Amino acid sequence: MRRFPCLPRGTVRASVHSKNSMSRTLIKDALNATAPNDAILLQGWVRTRRDAKTFSFLELNDGTCLKGIQVIADASLPNYAAEIARAHTGASVEVRGKLVESKGSGQKWEVVASEFKILGEADATYPLQKKGHTLEFLREIAHLRPRSNLFGAVFRVRSRLAFAVHQFFQSKNFIYVHTPIITASDAEGAGDMFRVTTLDLENPPRGEDKRVDATKDFFGKKTFLTVSGQLEGEIFATALSNVYTFGPTFRAENSNTSRHAAEFWMIEPEVAFCDLAGDMTLAEEFVKYLIRDAKEHCAADLEFFSKFVDKELLARLDFVLDKPFVRCSYTEAVEILEKSGKQWEHPVSWGANLQAEHERYLTEEHFKCPVTVYNYPRAIKAFYMRKTDGCAPDRQTVAAMDLLVPGIGEIIGGSQREERLAELREGMALHHLDEKAYWWYLDLRRYGSVPHAGFGLGFERMLMFVTGVSNIRDVIPFARTPGTADF
RNA sequence: UGCCCGGUAGCUCAGUGGCAGAGCAGGUGACUGUUAAUCACUUGGUCGCUGGUUCGAUCCCAGCCCGGGCAGCCA
């Protein structure tokens, strides 16, 4: 659909093939009208039809907002008998008529049709019914589910929040960096990677040792889909000061949970001249900004979620906005868990990773609030995290932090990075990494190194938190999970 | 990948070792400024697949496939 800049905001030229040039009004704008309108053109999909003796009610939705608009099609319309019978749920239609104040209750405006045309019929096999469907069923018809109330709302919020991500960082003078999707570094430690290759898998080139010869591959070496843009982000942070990435991320783990996907979108800010405390503050501000933005710009959609998905959603979002997030060191967290008197499936002890049950207890039961846990044992965290000064030898920690939220668990993971060359090399040795593969990363510490920190926010997990939708597959247009890459 | 639960009409589900059920959707009719309208009637089935037990299996057993939940991995 072509947009014409001369038209008022929200109007779109109906079609270059139209008999006349009346502009399309989006249903969102029609519902927000401040005055009646004698000539209006609506285009959208029929949600439901109710027939009276001498006319029909049609509820029309075009995805621009949650609500549909009520259209009155009178039996005196010349094509009424033929067309109205075809106006089933799901059909696409074009309506010309008058926007008038509704005689019925339940809506302010409605459209009395003077012309009514079915553009695309939807017969009885159309899978979306007026009744509610299970999320599992809707996943199987991911090509049609955006036409449902829930998924329309989810993807409107997704779009808005993606925009808000940029607004937040741009307003703080962060530079947006496009880090590569294809990467040759296979030891970032963030999980299994998808191999990228153009080699003939049936008959790959082999070296003298009979092993597949990766030097014959497209890039002359083994390559993978990125699991994180962080290392490249650090390159730009140590040049442009404040940067962020926002793009797709890939993990080839065989994870079958409601909060893992093989392809997801991650936001990774990286801040030069910043320590862990500053990193935690930025994370908290960021999360609150996104929530506030959704509440402001997606109010109707959020109300829908709180009515049909999670009754406590709005109260929880307000609560999160009102309170400062709790900050709790790993060592304190372990003490809390040990003193809780709970029977843990996974035992708690200093040095062991916090398990989901532990994280859930901290954020949902003990603090009842988002919690940032920081300073984790060095042995269980990544090589690039900054070694904490002055630790007891058997309790060495690094400046890592995880932001935990009720219902979802970890939504952000971040750290202050090790900026000291000697300590970084020590960390790499500890994790058995080959320095040669990271020569450029080490160079950042050789030349003008600065303290810096950053984190990764899982965009879909944030959407789950904001919408109350409890499965990650339902906040991604087309989810990629083990065994599933449909559409 | 491990543990657990499920798969019966288009959808949501009930059910039984012996003729396959309901609600909704669809169809027909009635009624109505209706709001997931209402009322009456009505069409609709490879009971996930394969094999086994049995006179007889949708039901019991085994294997497989698919979906979901939880755990691990993490964002």
Nucleotide closest in space to A345 (CA vs C1'): B71
How many other C-beta atoms can be found within 10 angstroms of the C-beta atom of residue A19?
7
Q: Whole-number Å distance, CA A382 to C1' B4?
A: 33
pLDDT band at A318 (very low <50, low <70, confident <90, very high): very high
Residue A7 has pLDDT above 50, yes or no: no
- Nearest of A253, A154, A90 to residue A478 by alpha carbon: A154
SS3 A390: coil
Structure tokens at A162: 């993606």
Q: Is the CB of A130 under 7 A from strand B?
A: yes
Sequence-separated (6 or more) residues with CB below 8 Å from residue A166: A176, A246
- Find where tokens 């058995």 sit: A432
SS3 A109: strand
Q: Is the CB of A127 under 7 A from strand B?
A: yes
Contact A177, A245 (CB under 8 A): yes
Q: Whole-number Å distance, CA A257 to C1' B1?
A: 12
- Nearest of A233, A222, A234 to residue A193 by alpha carbon: A222
pLDDT at A17: 47
What pLDDT, in 10s, does the model give residues A359-384?
999 999 999 999 999 999 999 999 99
Contact A425, A470 (CB under 8 A): no
Q: Whole-number Å distance, CA A136 to C1' B57?
A: 29
What pLDDT, in 10s, does the model give residues A50-102?
888 888 899 999 999 999 999 999 888 888 888 887 888 899 999 999 999 99
Strands A109-120 and A69-74: parallel
- Nearest of A380, A439, A390 to residue A415 by alpha carbon: A380
Q: How far apart are CA A221 and CA A213, in angstroms?
A: 9
> Could you report the predicted ipTM of this complex, rounded to two decimals?
0.91
Share of chain A above pLDDT 70, in %: 95
The amino acid at A225:
L
Q: How far apart are CA A368 and CA A362, in angstroms?
A: 7
Contact A41, A19 (CB under 8 A): no
What pLDDT, in 10s, does the model give residues A11-51?
554 444 445 567 999 999 999 999 999 999 999 999 998 88
